């Protein structure tokens, strides 16, 4: 595939009254934009999410990698490990980021997708339930969608749940969540993969599945 010309910038995502640092990357003729909600204890510098984001960029999708917590909150969370499981807080920040896109001329008209990992997947699904008119697709990687069970019936965006075949507890959590979804959905189990998809070729498979899903469901029609 021929490399695409990309425009990338460090941005401040104004999520309500909270400024959050992020990286906005927009390829030529982007067909949609994907916001990343990282997992427990992670940040916008997550090597796994950055790998997937670059794969999406080369497929013509814009991406926004941003921190769900402020720098001060991240320090606190390193000690308490509480904020990473505060799904209400993470959802509020993610919704704020979705709304913030309307202030950016380069992406304001693009369909929106959400990519959530671990606890970020619960925030992504709750945000999709709250912004049904804006969020057009959701992908979860090794996620905890079970933490959003109460609102899953309200999600309208087509949802792809990706789980490692050796990540047995999380498989069950995703199966439970899938039973509550009323939208188009698919549960994809990647054989031989553990929770972080660290095995050779497994993260590449996640990226392929995510790109296919977003390219299919993020369009201007």
The tokens 């509480």 sit on which residue?
82
**Alpha helices (H) along the chain:** 47-58, 71-80, 87-100, 119-130, 168-180, 202-217
Distance in angstroms (rounded) separating the CA atoms of residues 68 and 62: 19
Structural domain spans, the chain: 6-217
According to DSSP, the residues that pair with 41 across neighbouring strands are none
pTM, 2 dp: 0.93
Q: Which two tokens stand for residue 74?
A: 């991240």
Query: Given this model, what pLDDT does residue 221 score?
Result: 43
Report phi then psi at 124, rounded to 5. -65, -45
Residues in CB range of 195: below 8 A, 6 or more apart: 142, 164, 167, 170
Using alpha carbons only, how large is the chain's radius of gyration in Å? 16
Query: Given this model, what pLDDT does residue 85 score?
Result: 77
Distance in angstroms (rounded) separating the CA atoms of residues 55 and 211: 7
Query: Given this model, what pLDDT does residue 46 score?
Result: 77
Nearest to 140 by CA among 131, 130, 148, 151: 148
For the chain, 221 residues long, give each residue's pLDDT as a single digit of tens.
566 788 999 999 999 889 999 999 999 999 999 999 986 656 677 788 899 999 999 999 999 999 888 888 877 767 777 777 789 999 999 999 999 999 999 999 999 999 999 999 999 999 999 999 999 999 999 999 999 999 999 999 999 999 999 999 999 999 999 999 999 999 999 999 999 999 999 999 999 999 999 999 997 54
Query: Given this model, what pLDDT does residue 74 score?
Result: 79
Q: Which two tokens stand for residue 208?
A: 């392929």
Q: Which two tokens stand for residue 194?
A: 């553990």
Give CATH for domain 6-217: 3.40.50.1820
Nearest to 10 by CA among 2, 1, 19, 18: 19
Query: Given this model, what pLDDT does residue 220 score?
Result: 56
């Amino acid at each position: 595939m021929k490399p695409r010309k990309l425009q990338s910038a460090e941005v401040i995502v104004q999520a309500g009254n909270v400024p959050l640092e992020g990286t906005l990357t927009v390829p030529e003729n982007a067909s949609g934009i994907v916001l990343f909600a990282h997992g427990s204890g992670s940040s916008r510098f997550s090597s796994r999410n950055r790998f997937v984001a670059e794969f999406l960029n080369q497929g013509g999708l814009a991406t926004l990698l941003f921190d769900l917590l402020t720098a001060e909150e991240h320090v606190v969370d390193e000690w308490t490990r509480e904020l990473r499981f505060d799904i209400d807080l993470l959802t509020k920040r993610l919704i704020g980021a979705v709304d913030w896109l309307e202030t950016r001329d380069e992406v304001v008209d693009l369909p929106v997708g959400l990519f959530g990992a671990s606890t970020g997947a619960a925030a992504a699904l709750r945000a999709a339930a709250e912004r049904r008119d804006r969020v057009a697709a959701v992908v979860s990687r090794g996620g905890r969608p079970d933490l959003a069970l109460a609102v899953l019936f309200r999600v309208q965006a087509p949802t792809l749940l990706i789980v490692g075949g050796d990540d047995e507890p999380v498989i069950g959590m995703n199966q439970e969540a899938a039973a509550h979804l009323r939208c188009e959905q698919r549960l994809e189990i990647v054989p031989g993969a553990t929770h972080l998809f660290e095995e050779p070729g497994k993260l590449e498979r996640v990226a392929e599945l995510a790109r296919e899903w977003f390219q299919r469901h993020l369009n201007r029609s």
